[in-house]
Amino acid sequence: MKNLKRVDIIFGAYTQEKYKVLGETLKKSSDQIISEVTDSGLKGRGGAGFPTGLKWKYTANEADPIKYVVCNADEGEPGTFKDREILTRVPRKVFSGMAICAKAIGAKKGYLYLRGEYVYMLPDLMAELELFHKCVKENNLDFEIKISMGSGAYICGEESALFESIEGKRGEPRNKPPYPTVSGLFGKPTVINNVETFVNTLMIMRLGADEFKTLGTSDSRGSKLFSVSGDTPVAGIFELELGMSLEDFVEDFGDGDTKAVQVGGASGFCVPRKKFKDTIIGFEGVPTGGSMMLFNSSRSMYNVLKNYVEFFEEESCGQCTPCRVGCQQLKLGIEAVKKGEKSATYLDTLQKLADTMKVSAKCGLGQSVANSFSSIVDNFKEEMIY
């Protein structure tokens, strides 16, 4: 790679002695852990980017004696596969991050919610979990992790839907507020973080907040795993510094003919070639849970958009009307324009519908359909019509 520096923190530097960093961290007080995580500026790695330290602090401040730590391993965003890789290669770091959180907030039980597509990993994860439970016991921490399996529902990656699913119900998102820090799993104060976020908290404990902050920008601290796929000669997982320009990224990962990059999966944004230079990948620009899909000029952006809206139509839980009906109409609408049954101006009507979903849908799924819809329709209007 010419432009970007590869970082090797998440997968690298496994200490010889198992669970060494965890053991040392558990000697710290809850306040010490929370202030270190807060100082690091770490923001959630699932895509939404909520400050992790704040989330932990809010939950720690709740008086309820029962609290939960939940790891969101329901990685379903199209184009994302980093959590699978983390759980395959360094599950120990994920469990350690969860234990650090448990210590910080005072939780005795944790859940790792693993998507059904990854059930094949279960034997290895259970074996590691056994070692982990032995270690926390040795360190006098009363904390146990249970693995809960999903069953092929993208919506369960939404935090409140995930709680419903662990509780044995349909994975339908709840109204917010209350937020999970107040009323999460089983109605108790809960920290729910992405797999990579938990690994990052362990890294912060090992390196210290100051060292962690040397990577990234003031709005986007640290490094991040990127899942690179599509028209690229080097598809795979790459740990890179946050705050890079998309132009640098495309120079390193593109095939020389990149027409657009979909940043953040189907619920993310499509950036066309002319905007590569001015697009920053990070919370100050276009945020991403890690999904980076590259498309070269041989690809029809109509097909890309159609694939996304079909995905949303299928994965909408059906609970709220804007999302349930909206996704169907967006799909039917672009098909009608493409066939010439509707005029090109109908795309404006569809854009309004997407904008309405953004403000009226109940959860992140329905609210984010407009991201990919508008960014693809805006930038590739001709391809939608002809």
**Chain residues in the site for other proteins (CB under 8 A):** 75-81, 83-84, 115-120, 148-154, 165-172, 227-231, 235-237, 291, 293, 299, 303-304, 307-308, 311, 314-315, 317
Rounded to a whole number of angstroms, the minimum distance from the CB of residue 36 to other proteins is: 32
> Coil, helix or strand for 194?
strand
120 or 386: CB nearest other proteins: 120
- Rounded CA separation 210/214 (Å): 7
Nearest by Cα to 291 from 72, 87, 81: 81
34 or 369: CB nearest other proteins: 369
Element (H, E) at 296: strand 291-296
237 or 385: CB nearest other proteins: 237
CB 74 within 8 A of CB 46: no
Instruction: Annotate 158-177 with DSSP letters as a single string.
Output: SHHHHHHHHTTS--PPPPSS
Rounded to a whole number of angstroms, the minimum distance from the CB of residue 376 to other proteins is: 11
CB 84 within 8 A of CB 227: no
Instruction: Annotate 356-386 with DSSP letters as a single string.
Output: HHHHH-SSHHHHHHHHHHHHHHHHTHHHHH-
- Rounded CA separation 79/48 (Å): 16
Rounded to a whole number of angstroms, the minimum distance from the CB of residue 258 to other proteins is: 13
CB 249 within 8 A of CB 4: yes
Rounded to a whole number of angstroms, the minimum distance from the CB of residue 304 to other proteins is: 6
200 or 232: CB nearest other proteins: 232
146 or 352: CB nearest other proteins: 146
Q: CA-based angle 225:213:209, to the nearest 5?
A: 105
236 or 340: CB nearest other proteins: 236
> Coil, helix or strand for 111?
strand
Rounded to a whole number of angstroms, the minimum distance from the CB of residue 18 to other proteins is: 27
Q: Which two tokens mark 180? A: 């999970």
DSSP state of 179: P
Rounded to a whole number of angstroms, the minimum distance from the CB of residue 319 to other proteins is: 10
Rounded to a whole number of angstroms, the minimum distance from the CB of residue 271 to other proteins is: 16
9 or 317: CB nearest other proteins: 317
